Amino acid sequence: MLPVIRHPVERFTLPNGLRVVLTPDPSAPVVGVAVVYDVGIRSEPQGRTGFAHLFEHLMFQGSTNLEKLAHFRHVQGSGGTFNGSTHFDYTDYYESLPANALERALFLEADRMRGPRLTEENLRNQVDVVKEEIRVNVLNRPYGGFPWLKLPPVMFDTYPNAHDGYGSFEDLESATVDDAADFFDKYYAVDNAVLAVAGDFTVETARALVERHFSDVPARRAPQRPDFAEPDLTSERRESYVDRLAPLPAVASAWRVPNPITDLEGYLPFVVLAEVLTDGDASRLVERLVLRDRAVTSVGGYIGFMGEPFAVRDPTAMLLQAHLPPGGDVDKVLRTIDEENARIASDGLAPGELARTQARMATHLLRDTDSVLGRALQMAVLEVQRGAPELLAELPRLLSEVTEEQVTAAAATLVPERRATVEVIAEGGNN
């Protein structure tokens, strides 16, 4: 029997359109506050690659009533931590603080929801910061952008799905304050956001504080969500590139999976299959490629280019990636992956293989939501994308109900004709 932990969930919507999720937990005197906006990399305008991430930076540069760095000072002065991050389909901002600082966190998030301080000085400063981040994380790092930036343009054809979400220097440098204001007006509408609070509070107190600080945020309608759909692959796609810093060759492949929002039942077997193939020494590909054949030094599998199986919309993919030893044979690795998928599709799973995998997955899910901040973030995303924050407690059970027949059927779809592959040709080991 899988463990089940159900957290109370209280949902309401303010008259201005802000959706609120409260999940009290008095077990420790801390709170997690998350605001998720329904805009991400896929929504940024053509010619403005990297703009969603750039705007995330601008949201920390002061706001309607607070000067630059005030947000940092108020959170850290309360003994808390904070951050934000940009994803394919959403952007989040969050704080973790002692419970007695809840009102301070709500004030800070409401104040920048009314309007960040968009100035030429702040914009130019943050363009430079983002450019430096790209240098550190992509241009001057081994395997920088592999595979999350390198694989989508191989798999997809449309700009929203295929473009570089970190952004080009040219696009970043040409951004204007008017561009930032337009982006805020369109995508940072209160109707396009969800506030989630988890931790040590009463629902009555938290609701009163939310209403006090957010009710007067001007109402603006959320934009209509574009259709990002595009056809599945009908023939294999494969590209390679040279990485002058990479010490070892690497390869990543991806296959489209069912729509995670509208076809959760069809989607979940792929989430399980990725773990069957790669989670732990007993998994199919680790046992075969790493331990037996020594064809790779490591192998991993996950759903979504950022590894977020329950925080992504369609189209998305199941990814398998591996690092090879010097002189490793990428074609052999791909053939072995095909063989293991075909074995699962034809012969099924070994006794206990599925149950073991599902138990590990349930453990990981429970661990990830053990902190109040992790709980608030995931519930906010589930509310944004599905209108169902309570799904968080149901996921271990739903994954445990995936059958062997569903997993084998999923494996049967992972054929080369539907595969996109990117290969890293390593030069770092030759320096």
Q: What is the mean pLDDT of residues 264-275?
A: 98
Give tens-digit pLDDT for 284-343: 999 999 999 999 999 999 999 999 999 999 999 999 999 999 999 999 999 999 999 999
CA distances from 103 to 11, 57, 66, 355 (A): 19, 23, 16, 44
Q: Is the pLDDT of residue 1 over 60?
A: no
User: Got the DSSP string for 212-274?
Assistant: HHHTTSPP-PPPPPP----PPPSS-EEEEEEESS-SS-EEEEEEE---TTT-HHHHHHHHHHH
256: number of CA atoms within 13 Å, CB side?
19
DSSP lists the bridge partners of residue 317 as 256
Nearest by Cα to 426 from 333, 330, 326, 321: 326
pLDDT at residue number 118 = 97
Give yes or no for residue 5 having a pLDDT over 80: no
Q: Write the CB contacts of 403 (distance below 8 Å, at least 6 apart in sequence).
A: none
pLDDT tens, residue by residue, 377-388: 999 999 999 999
pLDDT class for 64, splitting at 50, 70, 90? confident
Check: CB of residue 105 under 8 Å from CB of residue 33: yes
Does residue 315 have a cis peptide bond before it, meaning omega lies within 30 degrees of 0?
yes
Task: Return mean pLDDT, the chain.
Answer: 96
pLDDT (tens digit per residue) in 355-406:
999 999 999 998 888 899 999 999 999 999 999 999 999 999 999 999 999 9
Structure confidence at residue 139 (pLDDT): 97
What confidence tier does 429 reach under pLDDT thresholds 50, 70, 90? low
Is a pLDDT exceeding 80 seen at residue 86? yes
pLDDT at 2: 57
The answer to whether 118 and 176 have CB atoms below 8 angstroms apart is no
Distance CA 225, CA 264 (A): 20
Question: What DSSP assignment string belongs to 313-369?
Answer: -SS-EEEEEEE--TT--HHHHHHHHHHHHHHHHHH-PPTTHHHHHHHHHHHHHHHHT
The rounded distance, in Å, linking the Cα atoms of 151 and 253 is 8
Selection from 422, 424, 426, 425 nearest residue 252 by Cα? 422
196 phi and psi, to 5 degrees? -125, 135
Rounded CA-CA distance 154/136 in Å is 24
- Among 260, 266, 265, 273, smallest CA distance to 354 is for 273
Identity at 245, one-letter amino acid code = L
Q: All domains of the chain, ordered by start, with CATH?
A: 10-214 (3.30.830.10), 237-430 (3.30.830.10)
What are the structure tokens assigned to 301, written together?
């599998």
CA–CA gap between residue 425 and residue 431 (Å, rounded): 14
Helices vs. strands in the chain: H and E counts, helices first? 16, 11
Cα(254)–Cα(414) distance, integer angstroms: 9
Judge whether 257 and 334 are in contact, CB under 8 Å: no
pLDDT band at 431 (very low <50, low <70, confident <90, very high): very low
Order the strands of the 30-37 sheet from edge to edge: 10-13, 19-24, 193-199, 30-37, 91-98, 81-86
Output the pLDDT for position 357: 96
